[in-house]
């Protein structure tokens, strides 16, 4: 936490708008560069307002872009590169939250919420149909109604 | 002297809202028409005093009266008049004054147009509006006084964040607030109905136009914000799943659900308790959005001031209003039972499905937005929930929603014939299938998602066309009969078709731009040419230009298609000395089928500039579609039956004529 804060403060002090990814930063190998772009889109620029390092023009984002490219050039896999950055900056740097105990609830939410909502709808509709059945007259009541109506007519 | 009158006007308005929030309630409880009539007078007075305060603040901005701290902090004499005016709501205090102004205006419409509402319902609605107004006026007076003076008076103001000096963003907040605050009407009607203990089709006829109006405004507001992000932030994106974007999207999603469930209440007298709950939740999410943005718990361009006292105050308002409404709901909702029965496969059933999916989508976005905050608060560590999460969870929920839109609108009330409807939709299904296959054929399996998106868009638009054609009897009756049927078809039916078709256009735009954006990132020397999609773009160099309150480097890029000159683009990199900030102004040429989007980057040695060029296919359709959706809503709003005041309750109005005068 303190480390993140320190990074934030340092970067804020030196933050000068520079423009996101610059032509000079790119790798010569287009395949490797494409991988770097994809990775860049999933890493958060820690000093920005919810931007990925690929979109951001902060210095920290540029440094991270350089780190990603350096690691990729050294032959690391995408997974290794992301792990390297995550080890240094924590889960906060991942725009796609990892699947781990602290985020089980987050990832389960869509399925659980939809399931619960659907279940509620089904139960309510069922109960309403039940209520409609109760409202229908039994054979006995039908007979009584007929008798009463007959009385009325006479 | 004049600014002090502004504070005074706000204070008077606050006292008026105190009266408005109590006396009419008392009158309604006692059946005293005179006490109830106080509500209308108070609502009018409230609007008047807040309008005076707003006018005084605007005047201070126009005259650059820097003795007012708010003006000094957010304005500048060199700022163009338009941005001096829009600067009024470009800051926390001023935007809250706009908030209460819109709230008072909505409340006043009930007073002015609600002459044929049952007097007790009208009194209670006005009282609830009064309570909301009182809370927010207190918030302004106690934590965010926009008229505070500053000594010594600065010679010059600090200026407005240059990002906000832009036509798209200048009008983004008013539309957004019209939406947020518009939903307070649904809330007020819901709470009033709970107090009354009755919800009937007439109630829904009153709630729908306001919800529809709020929804239209919110749609436009969100579209403006997204459009601004697209051309101002400079990398061609239009939606970032930023917490603040989500905060405006949540009320939109649930408000859309509310719009649809209110139809069931009106037409079939069913889903009453659910609709009342939705009305409360929709406004609750609007308040939550206000809280998230204004409290500074989220870091964003939108949080102007990080002041814990304000956050706590708004949280208090949120808890008070929602807590009260939910408690009332728990106590009274069971009494609202009853209503029409329907089979699962029916128009009602489809609208329930719509609500189910939209609310789940909203819940998922809400969880994703708040999860990092909550986890951190409980010491669970820091995580980020970014676009990858939302894309993975939101999109799967939207797919069945979009599929159901067409089918649901064609099912009949009470008991529908699904097989019959599907049989009539063979053309739409065929067209969608064809487009999907063509997309896969051209792009390969890697574009499976794009194929799905296009298929859904085609399904929507063709499906709606098929339904409309059938209603007009195209191909079965003569041209004249067709026209007569078209004229007879209710505006609300046209509105629905237009809004749903707009949704299809949005889907197509999002799909194409997400999958086929072409990006060129180049270091260009004057005279150099880049190929972008089918165009050739030549860089003619950059020069310095001056604006009213900024200086800029302006690049010149000429776009050619073969020998034909398509456009000359002038992207800028601006520096605002008053604020000490730089902004990028992208230059965009649109063909309506695609945008050519150019951003000037940094100057390098030897007169070279880094330039980003994008070809964004169908991207304008996103905003065109959103505007079409809002137009559909307005078309529906113009339907005779929805016109405010249309539902007549002759017996009731006749029995209490005295109440109508106020």
State whether A97 and B352 contact (CB < 8 Å).
no
Predicted-complex ipTM score: 0.82
In total, the C-beta contacts within 8 angstroms joining chain A to chain B are 119
pLDDT at B105 over 70: yes
| Distances B326 to B186, B211, B329, B332 between C-alpha atoms, Å | 14, 20, 5, 10
pLDDT tens digit sequence for B416-426: 888 888 988 99
Nearest to B356 among A55, A106, A118 (CB): A118
SS3 label, residue B484: helix
Q: Does A121 touch chain B (CB under 8 A)?
A: yes
Question: From the candidates A40, A106, A122, A128, which should be mutated to test the interface with B, based on the most B CB atoms within 10 A?
Answer: A106
pLDDT category at B650 given cuts 50, 70, 90 is very low
The answer to whether the CB of B111 falls within 8 A of the CB of B44 is yes
Nearest to B341 among A17, A94, A128 (CB): A128
pLDDT tens digit sequence for B328-373: 999 988 887 666 788 888 899 999 999 999 999 999 999 999 998 8
pLDDT at B303 over 50: no
A2-98 CATH: 1.10.8.640
- Beta-strand (E) ranges in B418-467? none
Cα–Cα nearest to B289, from B218, B229, B191: B218
pLDDT tens digit sequence for B529-562: 999 989 999 999 999 999 888 999 999 999 999 9
Question: From the candidates A36, A109, A110, which should be mutated to test the interface with B, based on the most B CB atoms within 10 A?
Answer: A110
Q: Does A52 touch chain B (CB under 8 A)?
A: yes
What would the two tokens of residue B452 be?
Answer: 């799905």
| pLDDT computed for residue A137 by the predictor | 65
pLDDT tens digit sequence for A127-147: 776 555 555 567 777 777 777
| pLDDT computed for residue A127 by the predictor | 76
pLDDT tens digit sequence for B435-478: 999 999 988 888 899 999 999 999 999 999 999 998 888 878 88
Q: What is the mean pLDDT of residues B178-206?
A: 91
Neighbours of B341 (CB within 10 A): 16
Q: In this predicted structure, which of A29-38, B162-171, B628-637 has the lowest mean pLDDT? A: B162-171
Question: From the candidates B243, B383, B579, B605, which should be mutated to test the interface with A, based on the most A CB atoms within 10 A?
Answer: B383
State whether A113 and B243 contact (CB < 8 Å).
no
Residue A147 burial class via C-beta count within 10 angstroms: exposed 0-12, middle 13-18, buried 19 and up: exposed
State whether A95 and B386 contact (CB < 8 Å).
yes
- Provide CB contacts within 8 A for B487, sequence distance 6+: none
pLDDT category at B646 given cuts 50, 70, 90 is very low
State whether A23 and B523 contact (CB < 8 Å).
yes
- Beta-strand (E) ranges in chain A? none
| pLDDT computed for residue A130 by the predictor | 58
Cα–Cα nearest to B556, from B546, B577, B567, B541: B541
The per-residue pLDDT of chain B, averaged, comes to 89
DSSP annotation of B32: -
What DSSP line would sit under A67-78, residue for residue?
HHHHHHHTT--H
The Cα angle at residue B603 between residues A27 and B573, in degrees rounded to 5: 110
For B343-347, which contacts have Cβ atoms below 8 Å and span 24 or more sequence positions?
B343/B414, B343/B415, B343/B416, B344/A125, B345/B411, B345/B415, B345/B416, B345/B417, B345/B418, B346/B411, B346/B412, B346/B413, B346/B414, B346/B415, B346/B416, B347/B408, B347/B409, B347/B411, B347/B412, B347/B413, B347/B414, B347/B416
Shortest Cα distance, chain B CAs vs residue A56, angstroms:
9
The torsion angles phi and psi of B271, rounded to 5 degrees, stand at 60, 30
| % of chain B with per-residue pLDDT over 70 | 94
Q: In this predicted structure, which of A122-136, B321-335, B588-602 has the lowest mean pLDDT? A: A122-136
């Amino acid at each position: 936490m303190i480390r993140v804060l320190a990074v934030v403060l340092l970067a804020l002090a030196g933050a000068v708008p520079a423009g996101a990814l610059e032509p000079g930063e790119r790798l010569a190998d287009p395949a490797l560069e494409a991988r770097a772009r994809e990775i860049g889109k999933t890493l958060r620029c820690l000093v920005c307002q919810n931007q990925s390092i690929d979109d951001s023009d902060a210095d920290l984002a540029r440094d991270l872009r350089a780190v990603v490219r350096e690691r990729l050039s050294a032959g690391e896999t995408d997974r290794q590169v992301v792990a390297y950055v995550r080890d240094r900056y924590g889960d906060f740097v991942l725009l796609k939250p990892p699947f781990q105990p602290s985020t089980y609830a987050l990832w389960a939410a869509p399925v659980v919420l939809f399931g619960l909502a659907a279940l509620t709808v089904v139960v309510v509709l069922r109960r309403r149909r039940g209520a409609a059945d109760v409202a229908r007259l039994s054979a006995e009541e039908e007979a009584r109604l007929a008798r009463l109506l007959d009385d009325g007519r006479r | 002297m004049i600014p002090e009158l502004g504070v005074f006007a706000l204070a008077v308005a606050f006292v008026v809202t105190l009266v408005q929030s109590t006396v009419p309630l008392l009158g309604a409880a006692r059946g005293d028409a005179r006490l109830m009539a106080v509500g209308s007078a108070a609502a009018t007075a409230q609007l008047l005093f807040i309008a005076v305060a707003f006018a005084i603040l605007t005047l201070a901005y126009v005259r650059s009266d820097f003795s007012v701290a708010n003006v000094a902090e957010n304005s500048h004499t060199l700022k163009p008049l338009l941005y001096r005016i829009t600067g009024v709501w470009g800051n926390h205090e001023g935007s809250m004054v706009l908030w209460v102004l819109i709230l008072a205006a909505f409340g006043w419409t009930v007073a002015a147009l609600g002459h044929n509402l049952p007097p007790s319902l009208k009194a209670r609605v006005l009282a609830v509006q009064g309570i909301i107004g009182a809370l927010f006026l207190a918030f302004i007076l106690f934590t965010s006084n926009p008229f505070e003076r500053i000594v010594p008076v600065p010679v010059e103001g600090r200026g407005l964040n240059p990002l906000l000096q832009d036509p798209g963003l200048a009008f983004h907040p008013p539309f957004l607030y019209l939406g947020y605050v518009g939903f307070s009407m649904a809330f007020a009607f819901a709470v009033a109905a709970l107090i009354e203990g009755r919800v009937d089709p007439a109630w829904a006829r009153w709630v729908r136009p306001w919800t529809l109006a709020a929804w239209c405004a919110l749609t436009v507001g969100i579209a403006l914000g997204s459009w601004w992000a697209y051309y101002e932030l400079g990398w061609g994106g239009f939606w970032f799943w930023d917490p603040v974007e989500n905060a405006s999207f949540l009320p939109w999603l649930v408000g859309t659900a509310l719009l649809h469930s209110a139809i069931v209440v009106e037409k079939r007298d069913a889903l009453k308790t659910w609709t009342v709950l939705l009305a409360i939740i929709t406004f609750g999410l609007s308040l939550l959005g206000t809280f998230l943005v204004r409290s500074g718990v989220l870091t964003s361009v939108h949080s102007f001031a990080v002041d814990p006292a304000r956050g706590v105050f708004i949280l208090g308002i949120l808890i008070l209003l929602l807590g009260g409404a939910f408690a009332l709901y728990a106590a009274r909702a069971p009494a609202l039972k009853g209503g029409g029965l329907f089979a699962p496969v029916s128009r009602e059933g489809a609208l329930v499905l719509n609500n189910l999916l939209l609310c789940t989508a909203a819940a998922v976005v809400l969880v994703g937005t708040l999860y990092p905050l909550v986890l951190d608060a409980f010491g669970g560590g820091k995580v980020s929930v970014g676009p990858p999460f939302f894309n993975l969870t939101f999109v799967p929920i939207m797919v069945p929603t979009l599929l159901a839109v067409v089918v649901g609108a064609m099912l009949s009330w009470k008991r529908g014939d699904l097989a019959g409807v599907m049989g009539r939709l063979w053309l739409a299904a065929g067209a969608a299938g064809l487009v999907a296959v063509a997309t896969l054929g051209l792009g390969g399996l890697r574009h499976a998602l794009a194929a799905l998106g296009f298929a859904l868009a085609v399904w929507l638009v063709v499906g709606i066309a098929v339904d409309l054609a059938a209603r007009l009897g195209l191909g079965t009756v003569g041209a004249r009969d067709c026209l007569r049927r078209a004229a007879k078809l209710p505006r609300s039916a046209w509105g629905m078709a237009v809004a749903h078709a707009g949704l299809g256009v949005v889907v197509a735009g999002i799909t194409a731009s997400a999958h086929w954006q072409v990006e060129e990132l180049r270091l260009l020397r004057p005279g150099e040419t880049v190929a972008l999609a089918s165009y050739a773009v030549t860089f003619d160099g950059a020069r310095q230009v001056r604006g009213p309150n900024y200086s800029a480097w302006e690049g010149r890029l000429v776009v050619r298609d073969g020998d034909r000159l398509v456009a000359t683009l002038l992207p800028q990199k601006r520096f605002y000395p008053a604020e000490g900030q730089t902004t990028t102004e992208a230059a965009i040429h649109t063909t309506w089928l695609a945008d050519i989007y150019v951003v000037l980057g940094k100057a390098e040695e030897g007169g070279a500039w880094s330039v980003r060029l994008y070809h964004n296919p169908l991207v304008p359709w996103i905003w065109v579609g959103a505007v079409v959706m809002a137009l559909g809503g307005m078309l529906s709003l113009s339907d005779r039956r929805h016109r405010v005041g249309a539902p007549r309750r002759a017996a009731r109005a006749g029995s209490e004529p005295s109440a109508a005068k106020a």
